Amino acid sequence: MTSSDLNYLTVALPKGKLFAPSAKMLADIGYTAEGLSEKSRKLVITNEEEKIRFIITKTADLPTYVEYGAADVGIIGKDVLLEEGKDVYELLDLKFGFCRLMVAVPQALQQEKLSDYAHMRVATKYPRVAERFFSSMGIQMEIIKLNGSIELAPMVGLAEMIVDIVETGRTLKENQLIEVAQIHPATARFIANRVSFKMKFDRINRMVEDLKTLMEGGVNGENSSC
């Protein structure tokens, strides 16, 4: 099974916070499959009637599946696209999953300006984003890649600061961290493989148009965060 089968459209959905709103949005325009659930142990779920396959991937891996054509299209956060830098078409801002990439520090370590943090350690799930951001400011930092619970790092002395996404701000607050710089806002994006977009243009384009119509009609209506 590969997405090169022209009869099928393979849609990648990420595990995690974007899964439910993404699956709902696609279901609202008629793209769904029986048993499609984040909890499913089955990672490929097919709707034979509609010739749609859903694959469920780890969030950070989703752009890779789309870049290589293992999936024709997918839904993923802009934060992940910025970090992974994969060669995919970003077709639509789906305007849910609102969050922002930012820099935060423990209150006690707050400095006057960003350059005062030079050479400190930054813990992050987004090492490329962090590197690019600090380099663009002419600041050299030591970047430490982690896979989650980033806010823990400054609390136990692994790093002085973090680069992470913030949604409600609750995690920062509960760990006495304050935001000192914004890097980029992020929302969910509808992406496509470059070859699939040409080979399956009618189907993918119809999906984009249906998603746009849905958003205009406010059917999705939920400002869910990422």
Q: Which residues bind ligand PRP (CB under 6 A)?
A: 148-151, 164-171
Q: Count how many Cα atoms sit within 13 Å of the Cα of residue 142 in the half-sphere of its side chain.
A: 6
Closer CB to ligand PRP, 162 or 192, in the complex: 162
Minimum Å distance from CB 224 to ligand PRP?
11
Minimum Å distance from CB 111 to ligand PRP?
22
Contact present, 206 and 26 (Cβ < 8 Å): no
Q: Where do we find the tokens 């999953």?
A: 97
Minimum Å distance from CB 190 to ligand PRP?
21
Contacts of 70 (CB under 8 A, 6+ apart): 2, 3, 10, 12, 55
- List b or e across 56-92, with b for residues whose CB sees 16 or more CB atoms inside 10 angstroms: bbebbbbbbbbbebbbbbbbbbbbbbbbbebebbebb
Minimum Å distance from CB 56 to ligand PRP?
16
Closer CB to ligand PRP, 171 or 224, in the complex: 171
Closer CB to ligand PRP, 29 or 60, in the complex: 60
Q: How far apart, in whole angstroms, are the C-alpha atoms of residue 162 and residue 102? A: 8
Closer CB to ligand PRP, 33 or 183, in the complex: 183
Report which residue's Cβ sits closest to ligand PRP. 148
190: helix, strand or coil = strand
212: helix, strand or coil = helix
Closer CB to ligand PRP, 60 or 208, in the complex: 60
Minimum Å distance from CB 225 to ligand PRP?
6
